[in-house]
Amino acid sequence: MADIRYTRDHEYVRLDGDVATVGITDYAQRQLGDVVFVDLPAIGKKVTKGGDAAVVESVKAASEVYAPLTGEIVAVNAALSDAPATVNEDATGKGWFVKIRIADTGELADLMDQAAYDAYVASLG
C-alpha cells in the first residue's frame, strides 16, 4: 500500500519519492457536497505548509485547500477543469489536485497516518 498521510484539514498526501500527490479526502468531499469548480495553482508556484494551495467550490461555498507540505507545484490535475465532479467520485484517486516536490521531508512527521486519521474523523462524529 502506498504511504498516505493526512492533515487535520482533510487533505491527503500520497508519497512517491520526494513528490507528494495532494487532494482532499473522501470525508472532505462528502462534507462539501457537489464540487462544481476547482481553482488550481500555476506549475512552479512555491507553496508553504498550511498556506493556500488551491480552492474547491461546491454549489454552496468556496473552500481553501491548504498545502500539507512546503515545496513547489510540479503538476496540477487539469482534468478537474472540465470534470470537477471527479473530486466527489474518486477523491483519493482521479480526483487529486496537485503534486508538490517536497522541500523538507521532516514536515511529514506532522501529518497523520491512516489509523490516526480514521480515529480523527470518527471523533468528529
Partner 1 sequence: MTDSPPTEPLRRTPLHALHLRLGARTAPFAGYEMPIQYPAGILQEHLHTRAAAGLFDVSHMGQARLTGKNAAKRLESLVPGDIQALEPGRTRYTQFLDGEGNILDDLMATRLATTAGDEEALFLVVNAGCKAQDFALLQAALPDLELTILEDRALIAVQGPRAAAAFARVIPGFEAAPFMSMREADWRGATLFVSRSGYTGEDGYEISVPAALAEDFAATLLADPNVKPIGLGARDSLRLEAGLCLYGRDIDATTTPVEAGLLWSISKRRRAEGGFPGAARVQAQIAQGPARKRVGIRPEGKAPAREGTEILSEGGALIGRITSGGYGPSVGGPMAMGYVESAHAAPGTRLSLMVRGKALPAAVAPLPFVPARFYRGA
Nearer to partner 1, 40 or 100 (CB): 40
CA–CA separation, 108 and 69 (whole Å):
7
Choices 30-38, 70-78, 101-109, 115-123; region in contact with partner 1 by CB under 8 A: 30-38
Smallest gap from Cβ 23 to partner 1, in A, equals 19
Smallest gap from Cβ 57 to partner 1, in A, equals 6
CA–CA separation, 5 and 102 (whole Å):
14
Q: Position of cell 512552479?
A: 44
What is the size of the binding site for partner 1 (CB under 8 A)? 13
Q: Does 51 bind partner 1 (CB under 8 A)?
A: no
Q: The C-alpha cell of 97 is what?
A: 489536485
Nearer to partner 1, 58 or 77 (CB): 58
Smallest gap from Cβ 70 to partner 1, in A, equals 21
Of positions 16, 34, 113, 118, contacts partner 1 by CB under 8 A = 34
| Segment 50-58 long-range contacts (CB within 8 Å, at least 24 positions apart) | 53/22, 53/97, 53/98, 53/100, 54/97, 54/98, 56/24, 56/32, 56/87, 56/97, 57/84, 58/32, 58/33, 58/34
Nearer to partner 1, 21 or 58 (CB): 58
The answer to whether 115 touches 123, Cβ cutoff 8 Å, is: no
Which residues form the interface with partner 1 (CB under 8 A)? 33-34, 36-37, 39, 55, 57-62, 81
